[in-house]
Structure 1
Amino acid sequence: MSQQLQIILPLILMEFVLKIIALVDLAKRDKRGVKGEKKFVWVIVILLFSTIGPVLYLVAGKKDFIQEEDN
């Protein structure tokens, strides 16, 4: 049992950290910085879909836009 725990515990920790990173990034963005402009949908995806949800958000859910400077 201890050997199984040594294998599973780092995976659980990594999953938790990945979700925290994705949720913090989502919280910092306004709705224009998120694809679909529905932040609550991304929260559900991040929380419900194990590793795939946070990775999907971090790879495809963010909008990177360049703000135009006023001259």
Structure 2
Amino acid sequence: MSSECQGKSSWPELLGQPGHVAVATIERENPLVKAIIVPPGTSVITDFRCNRVWVYVDDNGDVNRVPVIG
């Protein structure tokens, strides 16, 4: 589905990086999206959106899933 979205849509290079660094990088590389940190155990809305990137982090605040548009 991300092929219908504009700009960069996936950031595998951010795995293991601090969440706040990932948010800044994502929003700089694709200004059409809002990156949102998701702490462990937090539920998120599952609808697909081209303007949103969930940034899942571990207990240390580091990215533990590849951030993708959705």
| TM-score of the aligned structures, taking structure 1 as reference length | 0.30
Query: Is the strand fraction higher in 1 or 2?
Result: 2
- Which structure has more relative contact order (CA 8 Å, sep 6+)? It is 2
| TM-score of the aligned structures, taking structure 2 as reference length | 0.30
Could you say which structure has the larger radius of gyration? 1
